[in-house]
């Protein structure tokens, strides 16, 4: 059994609204992008398994002498602290802090992207009245103010799971429209020669679309039969890979070089308003999940007291927690105003925290904690993914920041 709110978070991570940016990334990366979509799914599935394996240690059973695995860690932070232990005095605490910072950055960027998508969709839906984009962003922010008072994530996550199903239906609708235009498809939109900077930004976008590692330890811990975790992980990544590849390829073959950063902008005028309004609701209802997770980390690190208080037998948010949450909400709002390019922000996030949390750190953990039990093949795979992650991260950050500065 998996708790519904954790499952909805994981579904959100793999099949979220950021799929809408993949067709544009595929245009920028050409045929190599198709390979990356498949390769990223395999790599993220592998690093997800290795990350969860680091939650366990082998112990000898009493009389039989058999070896059994015991779950001795519960979170990403616990794994980081175990890896840093013994390297230098107090490094375990520093390692845990670094993981928390990386998680907050990734979750904050995710919140910003949801707000950015909401603004774009609202602006497009109200284009007939010429509402300024800044007003649309402010309206989106107003609808997110109830997030400040969240004390329980379960109702929101249940709605988000339903919205994820609605998003899949919308994606199928877009794919059906693309199929109706199959007679005009052109493979000339995909090329083997691509601009290096565009390609590196696209790599960050593709990696970010598969980032889910921070949710895996609690997800695995909530399963009744944890032995089925690897099977579940493989099936979900396989399904996500097929869905994302088909969706992106059909969109690129239909619209070619005219493919927009958010693919719904390419839909015909009679279909786009309905799809945009559905996606707007999806983005608004998805925002509380990463917001709540980031707020909990910040509240734990910043506040010594509990973030919730009991008032008239009801749980409410304390004033210091409201300050932390308000700061987080306004930060995502200001970032959405400063960075209007959806694909560049998605690429930057994927290159910074996505590559670190999904590719680099899981391999480091695996090599550090289980070196003696790994085969030569396992070590080579981990070192290869680790090296690839470092290269993609550094080069992707440079290109994304350069493009963002040019667009400001």
Pair of tokens at residue 146: 């109830």
**The domain over range 2-57+72-302+316-407 is classified in CATH as 1.20.1740.10:** yes
Question: What is the per-residue DSSP string for 210-257?
Answer: T--GGGHHHHHHT-S-GGGHHHHHHHHHHHHHHHHHHHHHHHHHHHGG
Cα separation of 219 and 5, whole Å? 10
**pLDDT confidence of residue 47:** 93
The closest of 12, 76, 75, 25 to 358, measured between CA atoms, is 76
Q: Can you list the residues of the chain whose pLDDT is less than 70?
A: 1-17, 61-65, 86-93, 152-164, 303-317, 340-346, 404, 407-408
Q: How many CB atoms lie within 10 A of CB 305?
A: 10
Q: Taking a C-beta distance cutoff of 8 angstroms, is the pair 120, 262 a contact? A: yes
Residue 73: alpha-carbon gap to chain centroid = 23
The domains of the chain are located at 2-57+72-302+316-407
Q: What is the pTM of this model?
A: 0.80
Distances (CA, A) of 173 to 27, 84, 271, 325: 21, 48, 10, 36
CA angle 403, 405, 408 (to 5 degrees): 110
With the CA atoms of 82, 84, 86 and 89 taken in that order, what torsion angle do they form, in degrees rounded to the nearest 10? -120
**pLDDT confidence of residue 358:** 86
């Amino acid at each position: 059994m998996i708790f519904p709110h954790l499952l909805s978070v994981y579904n959100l991570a793999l099949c979220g609204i950021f799929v809408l940016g993949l067709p544009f990334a595929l245009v920028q990366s050409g045929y190599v992008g198709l390979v990356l979509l498949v390769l990223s799914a395999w790599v993220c599935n592998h690093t997800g398994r290795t990350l969860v394996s680091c939650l366990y240690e082998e112990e000898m059973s009493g009389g039989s002498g058999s070896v059994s695995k015991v779950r001795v860690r519960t979170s990403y932070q616990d794994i980081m602290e175990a890896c840093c232990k013994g390297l230098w005095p107090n490094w375990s605490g520093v390692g845990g802090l670094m993981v928390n910072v990386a998680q907050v950055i990734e979750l904050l960027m995710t919140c910003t992207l949801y707000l950015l998508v909401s603004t774009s969709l609202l602006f497009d839906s109200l284009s007939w009245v010429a509402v300024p984009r800044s007003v649309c962003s402010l309206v989106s922010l107003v609808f997110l103010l109830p997030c400040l008072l969240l004390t329980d994530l379960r109702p929101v996550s249940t709605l988000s799971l339903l919205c994820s199903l609605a998003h899949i239906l919308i994606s199928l609708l877009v794919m059906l429209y693309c199929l109706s235009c199959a007679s005009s498809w052109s493979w000339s939109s995909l090329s083997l020669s691509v601009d290096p900077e565009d390609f590196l930004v696209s790599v960050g976008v593709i990696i970010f679309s598969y980032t889910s590692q921070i949710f895996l330890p609690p997800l695995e811990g909530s399963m009744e039969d944890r032995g089925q975790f690897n099977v579940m992980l493989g099936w979900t990544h396989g399904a996500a890979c097929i869905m994302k590849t088909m969706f992106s390829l059909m969109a690129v073959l239909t619209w070619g070089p005219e493919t927009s950063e958010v693919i719904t902008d390419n839909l015909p005028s009679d279909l786009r308003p309905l799809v945009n309004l559905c996606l707007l609701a999806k983005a608004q209802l998805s925002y509380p999940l990463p917001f709540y997770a980031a707020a909990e980390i910040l509240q734990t690190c910043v506040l010594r007291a509990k973030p919730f208080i009991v008032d008239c037998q009801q749980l409410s948010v304390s004033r210091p927690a409201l300050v932390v949450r308000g700061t987080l909400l306004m930060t995502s709002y200001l970032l959405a105003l400063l960075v209007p390019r959806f694909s560049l922000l998605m690429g930057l996030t994927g290159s910074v925290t996505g590559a670190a949390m999904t590719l680099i750190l899981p391999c480091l953990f695996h090599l550090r904690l289980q070196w003696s039990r790994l085969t030569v093949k396992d070590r080579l795979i981990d070192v290869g993914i680790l090296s690839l992650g470092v290269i993609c991260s550094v080069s992707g950050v440079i290109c994304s920041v350069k493009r963002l500065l040019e667009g400001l």
